[in-house]
Structures are given as C-alpha cells and as structure tokens.
Structure 1
Amino acid sequence: MTANTGRIGWIVDAQNDFMLPADRGGRLYVHDLFDDGRDPGAQQIVPALVHTVEWMRANCDVLVYTGDWHAYGDAEIDPQSPDATRGTYPPHCMGLSDDADEREGAQIIPEIRPENPVVLARDATADDAESVVRTAVSEKRPIFIHKKVFSVFEGNAATDPLLHALRDHFGALDVVMIGVARDVCVKGALEGFLERGQPVTLVTDATWGLGLEPEAEALARWMNDGAALITTRGLDLRAAQTPQKG
C-alpha cells in the first residue's frame, strides 16, 4: 500500500436479523439452508468479526458498514412464499418499518455497532455521497450505507459516487471486507468491486453463507478474478508490518 492509498474496512450486513438465531430474535439467521439444521450458523463468526473490526479501527482510514434497510414492497421481501433460490426472503432488516421491533432487526449487532455513523440513505444522491465522505473523513466517523437489494451497488445508487469521492480524497483504495451472507450480499459487494477494477481482500473466517454455493468454489472463483484472501491471523501479521492509522 502506497502513501496515496486509503484503506477502507467494509463490513457487510452484520445486522441483528442475520446474525442472531431465531430464538434470539433474528428473522433471517444466516446458516446453511440445506443441511437439516446442523450448521450453527453466523453466530460462530462473531469473535472473528469483533477481532477484524478492532483491526480495522486501528488500521483503516474509513470504516464502511452496509445493511439491508427494507420496506414492505421491496422486491426481495415476500411474506407469503419466500424462496432463497429465487432471491426472495421473508421480512427482515425492516429499517423503514413503523414497528420498533422490526426496525431493531436492521441494526448492526452490538459487538461491532458503529458509533455515530454518517448514513448514506438508500435514496441518496451523488451530492449526498460526497457530503457523507467529507463528514466521515473530517470527523473520523464510520459510514453506514442503507440498501434495498442484495448488492450494495444495485441497492443504493449513491454507492458508486461514494467510492469516487473516497478515491478523490485518498487516491487508490485498499478494501478489506467481512460480513454476511457470503453467497448473497458479500458476493454482490465483492463481485461489484471486482467488476469496477477495485482490489478487495476478503477475510475468509469472518464471513458465513447460506449454502447456495460451496464456499471453496466461491473463494476459488473470486481469487481467480483478482480478490485476495486472508484470515484474521493474516490480518495480525499484516498489522505488524504496517504503521497503524493515527
């Protein structure tokens, strides 16, 4: 990483509804949908998420959280006959709901929740994105991108302008990514970055999936397409070789 590179910690959809099992209130808990209930699911990566976010806070210039921020009527919300293989799901992460309990499901889990984030609303404009970046950088605050579909690039039209604004400020970007679900929203973000020629490092033990694609196949494809793969242990080694952000 050169002096003209900004390191961005990118945390995908680590929200209550995805990260908490149903008996703890999660409405769409991320676990393998096809293993007859044997997969303990995303709760087991919480320590890795915590470890990586701590690393990001010490070593990244900006942290960007993303999250589904749904309303009834969104294309992927199907209360009657949801089918993950067709890209539809029961109500989850209902950030625009009138119901406080539903809205709570859209919040980032407490263990890594951003403090006083600058929000890029899901209907934000390019001007909004530039303002969000200026505020986040000048006030050293995290960014929280709200989105209405899986891919952050499709779910919030201001994501591309936000990346442009980050590049205008820092120069090149070095994106380090974690989160859920690996085969849905992480996939949309990571592949979107690669399609835009943006290098991404995925922390593999800080992700979890729904079993829609074997993990090994997805990781091999992404590495072939230019992504870098690392573990939390690898991050610790990288930190030892890189000055921490002030």
Structure 2
Amino acid sequence: MNLSLQRVGWIVDVQNDFMRPADQGGRLYVHNLFDGGQDPGAVQIVPALIRATEWMRAHCDALVYTGDWHHIGDAEIDPMAPDAARGTYPPHCMGLSSDAREREGAEIISEIRPENPLILQRDATGPDAREIARQAVAEQRPVFVQKSRFSVFEGNAAADAFVRALREQLGGAIEVYVVGVARDVCVKGAVEGLLAQERRIPVTVITDATWGLGLEQADESYARWLEAGAALISTEGLQVRSSSAS
C-alpha cells in the first residue's frame, strides 16, 4: 500500500432493493439470474460489507456511497419487458417516486447506512460537487452520490467534478477501495470508470464484499481489472494489512 496516497472508501449501491430478497421487500435482489434459483445472493456478503465499512470508517480519509436514484422514465427502467442482457430492469431504487414504499427501496441497508451524509444529487452541477467535496473533508462526513445509470460517471454529470475536487481537498493523490453490488454492473462501472485513462485512480476491490448477477463470472471481472491495474484483497487481508502497519 502506498502510504502517500489518501484512502477513499467507495460503497456501490448497497440499497434495500438490491440487498434484500424479494420476501423482504427487495425489488431487484442481486443474485445469479441464470442458475435456476440456486444462488442465495447478496445477503451472503452483508457480514463482509459490515467489516469493510468498519475498516473504511477507521482507515479511510473519505467515504463515498453511490446509489441508483430512479424515476420511471429512466433508460434502464422497463416495467413491461425488462431484459438484463440488454441493460434494462424492472423498477427499482425509485428514489424520485411519490410512493414512500418505493423510495424505501432506494435507501442504504440499515447495517451500514451512513449518518448525516452529504448528498450529491443526480442533477448536481460542478459547483455543487466542489462544495460537497469541501464539506466532506472539512466536516469528515460521508457522501451519498445519486445516479441514474449503472456507472456513476454516466449517471451523475457532476461525478467527475466531485472526484477531482475530492482529490484536491485530500492533497491531490488518492486510492479507492471498492465494495458493493452488482459486481458485473454498477461495481464494474465504478471500478472501470475510476481506472479509466481520463482518471487513472488506483483501485482496490474488496472481493468478499461484492456480489453479481451472473452476467459475467467473478474470475473474468477480476482478471480484467487486474490487467487494468487494480488490486484485489479480502476483508481478512485488510485486517492483516492494518495490523502489520500498526
């Protein structure tokens, strides 16, 4: 670990609709869509998410949550004939709905819900993003970034300005630790977006705190991310590393 880099924890889409099975109210529970119902799904990673979030709160200089924040007209929402292979899904994480029950699906799961977060709204501007980044560092508060698309960099026009401003507020150089769901959709968008040529931000994926939809096998995702320069670690590895450094 490069100790000259400031650490940012990046928690992707751990929202009720994704993390709760259907019988607990989840509207788009993250599990393998193609294995005939054998996969117990994302509920399995909640203990690892708790461990990872606790580590981030103790060891990171900033903490960022992202989340789908939809209304019915969004491009990925198709209530009639959704098709995950084509990038459309049933209504989920309807943060802009007039229905309180639908809005609850967009909330972060209670086990790791941030207290008093700053909100970077999905229609935020560059100046909004810079002010949110300033407050996040000055007040040591988590940030929740709303988005309308799989990738935060496509689903929130101010996301790039926010990341740039966060880097500046933290001294110009950051590394990002990523967890969340779905590994093969929104986590993919975050990891590959952060690693992209225009950003080149070092990324470490905490593997046991992610889960996917079966659109791509985990080993395929990890191999591609490693080739692009990412690192992989488990929550156990984080604890060992932190103990060794202390």
Same fold (TM over 0.5): yes
Q: CA deviation at 1:4?
A: 4.7
The alignment status of 1:217 with 2:220, answered yes or no, reads: yes
Give per-residue Cα distances to partners, 1:191-212, cap 9 Å, x unaligned: 0011121110000000000000
- AA at the equivalent of 1:34: F
CA distance in 1, matches of 2:169, 2:94: 33
Mapping for residues 114-193 of structure 1, pairs under 5 Å: 114-170=114-170, 171-193=172-194
CA distance in 2, matches of 1:204, 1:2: 20
The alignment status of 1:198 with 2:201, answered yes or no, reads: yes
CA distance in 1, matches of 2:116, 2:150: 24
Residue matched to 1:112: 112
Q: CA deviation at 1:222?
A: 0.7
Per the alignment, in what secondary structure is the counterpart of residue 226 of structure 2?
A: helix
CA distance in 2, matches of 1:151, 1:238: 30
Higher mean alpha-carbon deviation, 192-201 vs 61-70, is at 192-201
CA distance in 1, matches of 2:245, 2:18: 33
Q: CA deviation at 1:2?
A: 5.5
- AA at the equivalent of 1:143: V
- AA at the equivalent of 1:174: E
Give per-residue Cα distances to partners, 1:223-242, cap 9 Å, x unaligned: 01111000011110121234
Per the alignment, in what secondary structure is the counterpart of residue 115 of structure 2?
A: coil
- AA at the equivalent of 2:143: I
- AA at the equivalent of 2:159: T
Q: How many residues in Structure 1 have an aligned counterpart in Structure 2?
A: 243
Residue matched to 2:65: 65
1:236 to 231, 236, 239: 239
Give per-residue Cα distances to partners, 1:118-174, cap 9 Å, x unaligned: 000000011001110111111111000000000000000111111111111222001
CA distance in 2, matches of 1:166, 1:234: 26
Ranges in structure 1 where 5+ consecutive residues have no aligned partner: none
CA distance in 2, matches of 1:137, 1:236: 24
CA distance in 1, matches of 2:8, 2:83: 33
CA distance in 1, matches of 2:9, 2:241: 14
Distance 1:79 1:198, change over 3 A: same
Residue matched to 2:96: 96
RMSD: 1.0
Q: CA deviation at 1:14?
A: 0.2
Residue matched to 1:83: 83
Per the alignment, in what secondary structure is the counterpart of residue 174 of structure 2?
A: strand
CA distance in 1, matches of 2:118, 2:133: 8
